[in-house]
Amino acid sequence: MSEVRTFAADNFDDEVLQAAEPVLVDFWAPWCGPCRMVGPVVEKLARDYAGRLKVGKVNVDENRDLAGKYGIMSIPTLIVFKDSNEAKRIVGFRGEKELVDAIDQVL
C-alpha cells in the first residue's frame, strides 16, 4: 500500500524531479474546500497505483516559492511529472475517473 507523501522545497527535486517513476503532485492548502474534497481521491490513487506512480502533496501556503515556480494560480492543481517534466496538469476539483484518465495517458 502506497502512502501520500509530503513534498516541500527541501525534497521536491529528489522526490519528484529525480524520481524513477511518474509522480502525481497535489498542490493544495488546508483552507481550500475543493482541495479537501479531492484529498480522499488522491489517497485512493496512491493505493491503486502503488508501485507505478508516486503520489504526494505540496502545501502552497508553506511552499510559496515552489507554487510560484510551477505557476500555481488556483488550487487544487494536480500535476503529473514524468522524467523531470510536467506531463499533465489538472486544475480544480475533478472526480476520480477524470484523474485516472489523465494519469493513464502519462503511464
How far apart are the C-alpha atoms of 59 and 6, rounded to whole Å?
Answer: 8
Cell of 17: 524531479
Helices marked H in 8-95: 12, 33-48, 64-69
Catalytic site positions: 32, 35
The residues pairing with 26 across neighbouring beta strands, listed in sequence order, are 57, 78
Q: Which residue has the cell 488556483?
A: 74
Cell of 57: 502533496
The residues pairing with 24 across neighbouring beta strands, listed in sequence order, are 55, 80
